[in-house]
Structure formats: structure tokens, C-alpha cells
Amino acid sequence: MRRILLSSLVLAGATLIAGDPAKDLPKFQGGDLQKYWMDACARCHGVNGNGRDNSGKQLPDAGFDFTDSRKANKKKDADWVKVTMEGKDKMPAFKDKMAQADAEKMIAILRKFSAK
């Protein structure tokens, strides 16, 4: 019983220390989606959508590599919107940060990376 309680306390403490990464994300206030990409998305997906910084080093929380057109183009737009709104794996949910209509407009940016 002590081990279970101790394990629970350690896990709870780790959650408090790690925090919620979604809380640090800015809320989309309308306007320029490319700027929002830079402010909110590029920290994990990279400026160029490849999950790397400007020197080519993989980002610590590297997200999906949208430049891998073989993988990226297998996904339907609705799949990307769902992941954006609900989150998946390391990707936080943006449902409290932007409207679904804005997430749908963001698809044009994602598709631009995979078209190169």
C-alpha cells in the first residue's frame, strides 16, 4: 500500500513540475495564421515544418515532419484538424486556443510544407 501511495505521489509531483505545455501556448486571436504558426506551432514542428531548428538540429519536442510528403499526404485534412483540436501523443489540444474553422484554415500551411 505504501508503494502505491508513494508512486502516486511521485507521479502527481512529476505532473506538477512538468506542467501543462498547452497552457503556454498563445490563443489565436484571429488574423495571420502564418504568424500563429511561428508563435505556437514552430516551437515543435519547426519554422519549415520539419521538426528541426534553423541549424538542422531536431527540436526537443519535435512534432510531425510535414516535409515528409509521403507520410503527410496520406492524411486527410479532417485528420489534421482532429489532431489540432484534440491533440495526440506529445501534441497538445488546441480546442481552447483556436476555433475549428481556424484549424481548418491552418491546413493550407501544413500542405505547403509537404508540397516542396
Number of domains in the chain: 1
Query: Which pLDDT score is estimated for 25?
Result: 84
* % of the chain surpassing 70 pLDDT: 79
Note whether residue 15 is domain-resident.
no
Residues 6+ apart with CB under 8 A from 69: 114, 115, 116
pLDDT tens-place string over residues 27-69: 898 889 999 999 999 999 999 999 999 999 999 989 899 999 9
Note whether residue 29 is domain-resident.
yes
Q: Is the pTM here over 0.85, yes or no?
A: no
Note whether residue 43 is domain-resident.
yes
Which residues form the domain of 56?
A: 20-114
Query: Which pLDDT score is estimated for 49?
Result: 95
Q: What is the b/e burial string over 15-24, where b = at least 16 CB atoms within 10 angstroms of the residue's CB?
A: eeeeeeeeee
Note whether residue 71 is domain-resident.
yes
Note whether residue 69 is domain-resident.
yes
Query: Which pLDDT score is estimated for 13?
Result: 37
Note whether residue 88 is domain-resident.
yes
